[in-house]
Chains A and B, each alone.
Chain A
């Protein structure tokens, strides 16, 4: 049964009509029309669907929307400021051209932002460890590490 659910997404309050056990991913993509979080596996194994919940990176493919309603949700789109300026990590990914197909980029950027929230100047190994859940099939890993490092310099 659908109910009204209040969500705080990218600094704005939204009321969505949804079954409370619907995973957050589908609500974000299909009701709020956000493209950042992607469906990759639906199994919390690949990180493509990551969002920030109160600043912590979390997969959204199995997270019931009623649970997500307790947190401030930030998606890739929400990292861009009101003037359209990119977050320093987004900027670094553009500058380092750290993408090929780009499907994994959402989760990788979200996890990297979460990492900098926890630890402002991580080592290469800490960056790689933080991105352990994020599958990238094109093999841009070494560029990603360069981009995250560039963003803190």
Chain B
């Protein structure tokens, strides 16, 4: 235990040591490889190979990525990409992910972009490094490059070999990333395309320290936040007289409406925080629209309307069609709801802040913290450490900010701050509620001849952006920062334009600023857009009396889409449906430009009590070149199950004052007995660019479940989540 802990701290930069020592020490699979570079303010220059790749004295290669491991298996996938180009065994590759001043600034780990961006940057850098060292060895030995190869950290010639460390005489490869003539990931595929197991899972099952929640430093103190009753509550007064007598009490920090407690031990801190909650007086107003159905309320808000697509004359086409159909869909606010509440450790020493955080964007967080604390970026050092799965922008950055606020008030000691369950559920930035309204016409052959689409949505990202406002605690401070505005509007229209071949299409977006705090949740607006679009396709297929897969194929041209749907049809062709059971389908081409995905759901509906039991879900996914097929399957299985949970269970509830979905009873999600079996087929296309797949399942999987419910009950669910009321005696 002691050895493991020491290494964990070493890896996270607590113990400063050099490479040679680490070479001799037994290093377990590391979440942050050791490095003697100190985190300075500088961003490594991404045009240079050494921003991405360092040669270690022990013969290993350290790969640096500005992205973070979220449980999506990115660390392993990036390692495979690097190992391939360097023709070097996986155990000789170390990974360092996300630390300011050390790794490249790659913004946020989001949008399923990590393989496309970080993965391809590392592929370029590693292939450039290979070509550079082969050229160096060729010049050194006077042997043509064609007779040399790089293998497992050595350049090997006909009769000679040299380690990279020796060849470079201890220096790093400082050349610019070039335009490599070959990518072995496309040709050799010794590691890429293989189901390389994640090493971190063994650490997890052993209980090794992995998470930011597991960090322990000598003399570390604990912090909790005394949360107000609502978004707009104002501090009035507090009885602080008896805190001093509480065991372990160290300090009460109050800055405007922000209140934090510091104590020696964690449970003492929680007890004092709970006591403080009772002794503080707030002024709070009822202001949330608790008495109006959300769907109606959202339409009363000021809207920013934009045309996203206007092709042909959709209105006339629909008016002149043989059959017409329209429907309206609604998706409520839903939450990230990570299993482990957000957490951070921070220390303020020598006027510098050092923070360990599971933020998805350490450099953007640093920018915002620098603005909030009025400090130079160079004086803030952030180390990315895995947390509980987040599925988008949750409270990670907020917890980091609160830990920093407390650390500044208590210099010289590490401060660990973790949110409680009700903090997390009640204060995280949710995925926004959305409305979609659709109209379409069918011609005599059952083909869609006109399509009108309108979407209502809040923005989909209020991630740290260099301003304090995106950090929750900012609004509570005396400076009067306020809440951020709508944020990233583009997320609302993701997949709002149909990928299907339709001559006349009109798509309008209406953006509002809604009542609850929102930011990025897995798939952003593509979730509601694809839920609506793929349910509507099923409705149209039914109206046209055409098989739903066939109906989609009638409106698709590209072979990759067709391949996915045909494989799915084959994989589900032998399903026998019993009484009360239904099968539903859906499809998407994510963002209309990345992965292709077809999904089926097999459900059983009990008409007596309206209960929906998911029996099985199937998927076929084509994400271009597959780096790790098992990782891709895992992400897809998880995406389908999470999506089914959103569809069947989830909605953020609130009263006039604040959120009331504060625990797992008031915010239920799918539990084990309710989850389906899953089966995923991966179509690997090494000739295509690899694209991200972590968000692809969200929209279509919900639509498949809803379409399956229709298939057996004849009931069209158009408002999420599915309620038993809608299905009783259906």
Contacts and interface: CB of A to CB of B under 8 A. Distances in A.
A94 B197 contact: yes
A103 B339 contact: yes
27 contacts: A19-B267, A26-B266, A30-B216, A34-B1, A35-B214, A38-B340, A39-B418, A41-B664, A43-B421, A43-B664, A48-B339, A77-B1, A94-B205, A97-B198, A97-B630, A98-B201, A100-B72, A101-B387, A103-B387, A128-B673, A133-B671, A135-B339, A137-B669, A139-B641, A141-B675, A142-B675, A143-B637
Given A46-B664, A103-B339, A33 B216 contact: yes
A80 B266 CA distance: 27
A86 B208 CA distance: 13
Interface string B200-229: 111011111111011010000000000000
B338 A41 contact: no
A35 to B, nearest CB: 5
A102 to B, nearest CB: 4
A5 interface: no
A50 to B, nearest CB: 12
Given A77-B1, A125-B673, A139-B642, A48 B207 contact: no
Interface residues of B, number: 62
Interface in B496-545: none
A16 to B, nearest CB: 12
B206 to A, nearest CB: 6
A109 interface: yes
A90 interface: yes
B5 A142 contact: no
B265 interface: yes
B141 interface: no
Interface of A: 2, 19, 22-23, 26, 29-30, 33-36, 38-43, 45-46, 48, 75-77, 80, 86, 90, 93-94, 97-106, 109, 125, 127-129, 131-145
Contacts of A145: 672, 677
Contacts of B638: 100, 138-140
A42 to B, nearest CB: 6
Given A43-B664, A128-B673, A142 B641 contact: yes
B663 A43 contact: yes
B678 interface: yes
Given A39-B213, A75-B207, A90-B205, 13 more contacts: A29-B266, A30-B216, A35-B214, A38-B211, A38-B213, A40-B340, A99-B205, A101-B70, A102-B204, A103-B387, A128-B673, A134-B672, A135-B664
B431 interface: no
A35 B678 contact: no
Contacts of B260: none
Contacts of B337: 137
A3 to B, nearest CB: 13
Nearest to B4: A35
A110 to B, nearest CB: 10
Contacts of A77: 1, 206-207
B4 to A, nearest CB: 9
Contact of B71 (A26, A76, A102): A102
B172 interface: no
A144 to B, nearest CB: 8
Contacts of B46: none
Interface of B is mostly: loop
Contacts of B338: 101, 103, 137
A136 B71 CA distance: 12
A89 B388 CA distance: 22
A137 B641 CA distance: 9
Given A80-B206, A99-B71, A128 B201 contact: no
Given A132-B671, A139-B639, A97 B665 contact: no
Contact of B389 (A35, A94, A100, A132): A100
A1 B389 CA distance: 37
Nearest to B76: A97
A62 to B, nearest CB: 11
A35 B677 CA distance: 30
B252 interface: no
A129 B637 CA distance: 20
B595 interface: no
Contacts of B634: 97, 100, 140, 143
Contacts of A23: 267
Nearest to A99: B201
Given A103-B388, A104-B339, A45 B664 contact: yes
A138 B266 CA distance: 27
B101 interface: no
B420 A42 contact: yes
A39 B340 contact: yes
B477 to A, nearest CB: 27
Interface string B322-354: 000000000000000111110000000000000
Interface string B381-397: 00000111101000000
B690 interface: no
Given A76-B206, A128-B675, A97 B201 contact: yes
A101 B637 contact: no
Given A100-B389, A142-B676, A41 B663 contact: yes
B724 interface: no
B233 interface: no
Nearest to B641: A139
Contact of A137 (B208, B265, B339): B339
Contacts of B467: none
B606 to A, nearest CB: 16
B307 to A, nearest CB: 36
B247 interface: yes
Q: Which of B209, B418, B678 has the most CB of A within 10 A?
A: B678
Nearest to A107: B339
Contacts of A90: 205-206
Nearest to B210: A102
A33 B209 CA distance: 10
A139 B644 CA distance: 10
A86 B671 contact: no
Interface string B608-644: 0000000000000000000000100011011111100
